[in-house]
Amino acid sequence: MTNRTALVTGASRGIGRTIALTLAQAGAKIVVASNEPENNDKVVGEIRDAGGQACAVFLDVTSPESIKAAFAEAQKQFGRIDVLINNAGITKDGLAIRMKKDDWDLVISINLTGAFLCAQQALLGMMKERWGRIINIASVVGQSGNPGQANYVSSKAGIIGLTKALAQEVGSRNITVNAVAPGFIETDMTAKLPQEVKDAYVARIALRRAGTPADVAGAVRFLASDDAAYITGHVINVNGGMYM
């Protein structure tokens, strides 16, 4: 990925941070984008300490203005964006019958609308260059469903639909659009779950273990590489056999 620039949303922590570090190790210049400036700077420092190139931009994916400003700053720093990783996402769980509309709207806004608006900005340059990679982070529950997560499940199912629609629109410009759908991954978020809940999830996984952020980042790295040049509109499941 030498001479490629990748912008990773939600790169300040968790899976996004690991994706940023992994793509940097593969030779890409990294734009660390999130609404956590202090953590952004930490990730940039890690990449630079390892000999890579990186910059940080503030990104609030609920704000079209912030998205435009972030991409403008990224292009000012590195010239163009070749790879976009739409990783930013949140959960606001609750049973559908009691779910507040604000919690529905926020999850859809960040997880789905934000990804669409970031893709729009990235495509402006990719279409001119006639080369690009967009990789959207979906979820196993976007395929299987999950009680108590109507908003999150809908957003991630939407991400899969968005991936397929964009892939068909921009394929003629040598731009691929794919998704990675993680299963039960060890993150700060899942670490807070009671042990019995974690055990129940692992029991449903064919490989009998939770995944790691590195497992997800490996799939992203592949899709961003030239090795995946003839793959588009596809969803790679990184779930250990939790859902097939």
Catalytic residues: 152
Contact between residue 205 and residue 241 where contact means Cβ atoms under 8 Å apart:
yes
Alpha helices in the chain (DSSP H): 14-25, 37-49, 64-78, 101-108, 114-129, 141-144, 150-170, 188-191, 195-203, 213-224
Residue linked to tokens 């394929």: 171
CA 131, 137, 60, 111 dihedral sign is positive
Q: Exposure of 38 by Cβ count < 10 A (0-12 exposed, 13-18 middle, 19+ buried)?
A: exposed
Distance between CA 219 and CA 197 in Å, rounded? 26
User: Virtual CA dihedral for 160, 113, 55, 123, nearest 10 degrees?
Assistant: 70
